[in-house]
């Protein structure tokens, strides 16, 4: 969209709404994962998301929805997002919502490290410093030997790595691929992969009608969140919106408090602040490069 037609305030409101839906998805999956197998929840999340796109977009876009110049990269990118979803849900099963979200938010720092060898981008000393400080913040949240479960920390770190690769591949595809096409491939690949494994994790307790609605809602939260995120980037530049991404930490903390009666301790809040500050420093550095 030309700069004269952009509406930054509308874009900011859209991205804040998108981040709320992502936090609601995490809170719902955390609640459901105490009873149901994580792979089953991942399958439900992508299947509902895929069905929503087929119903609402396929009639108008038709073959344009699946037309791509780089199918292999599309599939690999989608698999990274499936891995992110599974690892996050596994971590949420073991750890509080806010702390899991905080560890996942080292992703921008990982992307900074990956962008050098992967995309040939130069990393200045300021960005290196922001990365080091950000990882120190992650240590404050994780605190080996602290209250958080080590397997949960490892799962959250694995999710951050997958999400970092996903974002790098998104950068690679964004110049030649349509937004909705990329979004559809993530839903389609997630659905196909998890459906193939369905016989191995289908066995378990049957959901009540209310639990069935909660399971279905994950696809709605995910699909709506990604749609709002896409709309947000149509109304405001990425350099503006990136600085608001850490609002998800606020949503996660509020939902963790209201739904699960958990508030992070002082060290965790300090770690979250450090991670957010480091990520914002990287975002502002990127913004200066584009000015």
DSSP for the chain, written as a single string:
--GGG--HHHHHHHHHHHHHHHHHHHHHHHHHHTTS-HHHHHHHHHHHHHHHHHHHTHHHHGGGGT--S-HHHHHHHHHHHHHHHHHHHHHHHHS-HHHHHHHHTTHHHHHHHHHHHHH-----HHHHHHHHHHHHHHHHHH-TTSSS-HHHHHHHHHHHHHHHHHHHHHHHHHTTS-HHHHHHHHHHHHHHHHHHTHHHH--SPPPPHHHHHHHHHHHHHHHHHHHHHHHHHHHS-HHHHGGGTTHHHHHHHHHHHHHH-----HHHHHHHHHHHHHHHHHHHHHHHHH-
pLDDT at 241: 74
pLDDT at 289: 60
> Where in the sequence is the domain holding 101, given as residue range(s)?
3-290
Q: What is the pTM of this model?
A: 0.86
pLDDT at 4: 45
| 250 burial level (CB within 10 Å; 0-12, 13-18, 19+) | middle
Q: What gap in Å lies between CA 68 and CA 74, rounded to an integer?
A: 8
Q: What gap in Å lies between CA 41 and CA 50, rounded to an integer?
A: 14
pLDDT at 189: 96
Which residues contact residue 169 at a Cβ distance below 8 angstroms, ignoring those fewer than 6 apart?
73, 76, 77, 80
Number of domains observed in the structure of the chain: 1
pLDDT at 145: 64
What are the average pLDDT values for consecutive 10-residue runs of the chain, which has 291 residues? 63 90 95 93 92 91 92 95 95 94 89 79 77 87 80 95 89 82 93 91 86 91 82 72 82 94 91 87 67 53
pLDDT in tens, 197-226: 888 887 778 899 999 999 999 988 987 887
Q: What gap in Å lies between CA 104 and CA 110, rounded to an integer?
A: 10
């Amino acid at each position: 969209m030309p700069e004269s037609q952009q509406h930054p305030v509308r874009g900011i409101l859209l991205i804040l709404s998108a981040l709320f839906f992502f936090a609601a998805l995490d809170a719902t999956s955390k609640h459901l994962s105490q009873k149901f197998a994580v792979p089953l929840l991942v399958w439900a999340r992508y299947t509902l998301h895929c069905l929503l796109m087929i119903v609402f977009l396929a009639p108008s876009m038709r073959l344009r929805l699946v037309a791509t110049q780089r199918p292999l990269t599309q599939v690999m990118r989608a698999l990274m997002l499936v891995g992110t979803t599974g690892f996050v849900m596994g971590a949420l099963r073991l750890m509080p919502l806010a702390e899991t979200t905080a560890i996942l938010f080292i992703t921008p720092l990982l992307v900074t490290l990956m962008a050098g060898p992967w995309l040939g981008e130069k990393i200045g000393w300021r960005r290196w410093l922001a990365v080091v400080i950000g990882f120190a913040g992650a240590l404050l949240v994780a605190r080996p030997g602290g209250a958080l479960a080590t397997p949960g920390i490892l799962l959250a770190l694995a999710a951050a790595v997958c999400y970092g690769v996903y974002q790098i591949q998104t950068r690679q595809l964004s110049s030649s691929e349509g937004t909705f096409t990329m979004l559809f491939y993530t839903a389609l690949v997630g659905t196909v992969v998890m459906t193939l494994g369905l016989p191995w994790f289908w066995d378990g307790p049957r959901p009540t009608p209310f639990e069935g609605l909660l399971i279905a809602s994950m696809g709605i939260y995910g699909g709506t969140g990604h749609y709002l995120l896409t709309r947000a980037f149509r109304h405001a530049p990425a350099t503006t919106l990136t600085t608001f991404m850490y609002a998800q930490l606020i949503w996660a903390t509020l939902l963790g408090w209201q739904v699960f009666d958990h508030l992070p301790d002082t060290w965790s809040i300090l770690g979250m602040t450090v991670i957010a500050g480091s990520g914002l420093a990287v975002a502002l550095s990127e913004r200066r490069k584009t000015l």
